[in-house]
């Protein structure tokens, strides 16, 4: 009886061990299935993400190519219609920025992000950015005013905001100047449109003026004739209005003679410097003395 009881207990122990092994095997099998499923989902996610990134990359490359074609097409259209260089640079800058924003939205859509929510986010962010960048909006409006009323154009020599130079470009936010020593200056359009602008190239002619000092005791009529002959000998000096020479002022140490002529705007500086040199050489040749500062001291007894 005891042997039978031991045999039954041994068989039950073997059965329990078998059940434990079976449950462990099933658990391992389920764990293996979960790992396989997770690996497959991760692989599918990587494939879908890679496809979206690849599509977005293709959209970006093709979009950049299309933007380049559109910019060239717009430039050719403006060249055919002989649009002013200032308007041309403004439109090119505006088209480039607008198309770049559209390309960004397209790339975001290709990545699987909802463009409607992105557009809403962009609009709300645009309001905040607009408040923060209100100065740039003012510059944009200033650029439109400059193109509309045309106080200057590309190629003009202007002076504004204590800066002077040749207008190189009129962009949507800035006017670019090139100075005489080849510096590049960016002036905000808002400041230019609402400030003082001196345009030296707007008129075809300009007046050149010299003030020359001579000694007291010199013959003014002789000096006036000499200066008049110098001015009339220069073919760049316009005859109408006629050159003007007069006694300007009786200064402390000199008699000042003023000479004024009209020239083409392009000849202004060449005439100014050349006549300066000719007056100096001719006065020395004619014996007309230039004054030096003098101080007379009287000694009392």
Confidence category of residue 22, pLDDT binned at 50, 70, 90: very low
Question: Is residue 12 scored above 90 in pLDDT?
Answer: no
Contacts of 120 (CB under 8 A, 6+ apart): none
Decide: helix, strand or coil at residue 82.
coil
Helix (H) / strand (E) element for 24: namely: helix 2-80
The neighbouring-strand residues paired with 205 are 264
Residues 105-142: tens digit of each pLDDT: 777 777 766 656 656 666 666 665 555 556 677 888 88
Say which residue, 41 or 52, is predicted with more confidence.
Answer: 52
Confidence category of residue 184, pLDDT binned at 50, 70, 90: very high
Question: Is residue 2 scored above 60 in pLDDT?
Answer: no
Give DSSP secondary structure letters for 148-185: HH-S--TT-EEEETTEEEEEEEE-SSEEEEE-TTS-EE
Helix (H) / strand (E) element for 2: namely: helix 2-80
Tokens 């100096």, residue located: 280
Domains of the chain: 141-199 (2.30.30.60), 205-286 (3.30.70.100)
Gap between the Cα atoms of 132 and 111, Å rounded: 29
Peptide bond into 57 cis (omega under 30): no
Residues 250-263: tens digit of each pLDDT: 988 899 999 999 99
Lowest mean pLDDT among 8-22, 25-39, 215-229: 8-22
Which residue from 72, 109, 65, 107 is spatially nearest to 92, judged by alpha carbons?
A: 72
Residues 64-102: tens digit of each pLDDT: 888 888 888 888 887 777 777 767 777 777 788 888 888
State percent of the chain over pLDDT 70. 75
Which residue from 87, 56, 254, 247 is spatially nearest to 171, judged by alpha carbons?
A: 87
Q: Identify the pLDDT of residue 245.
A: 95
Average pLDDT over residues 200-214: 93
214: number of Cβ within 10 Å: 20
| Secondary structure letter of residue 266 according to DSSP | G
Gap between the Cα atoms of 31 and 28, Å rounded: 5
Q: Identify the pLDDT of residue 15.
A: 55
């Amino acid at each position: 009886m005891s042997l039978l009881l031991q045999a039954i207990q041994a068989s039950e122990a073997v059965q329990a061990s078998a059940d434990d092994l079976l449950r462990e095997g099933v658990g391992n099998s389920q764990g293996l299935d979960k790992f396989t499923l997770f690996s497959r989902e991760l692989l599918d996610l990587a494939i879908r993400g890679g496809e979206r990134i690849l599509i977005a990359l293709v959209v970006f490359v093709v979009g950049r190519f299309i933007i380049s074609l559109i910019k060239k097409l717009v430039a050719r259209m403006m060249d055919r219609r002989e649009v002013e260089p200032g308007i041309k640079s403004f439109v090119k800058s505006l088209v480039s920025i607008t198309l770049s924003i559209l390309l960004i939205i397209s790339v975001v859509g290709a990545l699987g992000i909802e463009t409607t929510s992105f557009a809403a986010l962009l609009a709300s962010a645009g309001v905040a950015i607009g408040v923060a960048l209100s100065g740039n909006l003012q510059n944009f409006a200033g650029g439109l005013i400059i193109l509309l009323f045309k106080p200057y154009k590309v190629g003009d020599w202007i002076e504004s905001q204590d800066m002077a130079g040749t207008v190189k470009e009129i962009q949507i936010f800035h006017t670019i100047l090139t100075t005489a020593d080849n510096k590049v200056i960016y002036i905000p359009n808002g400041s230019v449109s609402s400030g003082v602008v001196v345009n030296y190239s707007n008129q075809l002619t300009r007046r050149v003026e010299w003030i020359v000092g001579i000694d007291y005791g010199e013959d003014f009529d002789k000096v006036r004739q000499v200066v008049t002959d110098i001015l009339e000998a220069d073919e760049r000096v316009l005859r109408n209005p006629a050159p003007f020479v007069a006694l300007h002022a009786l200064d402390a140490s000199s008699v000042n003679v003023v000479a004024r002529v009209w020239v083409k705007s392009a000849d202004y500086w060449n005439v100014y410097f050349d006549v300066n040199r000719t007056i100096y050489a001719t006065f020395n040749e004619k014996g007309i003395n230039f004054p030096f500062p003098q101080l007379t001291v009287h000694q009392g007894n």
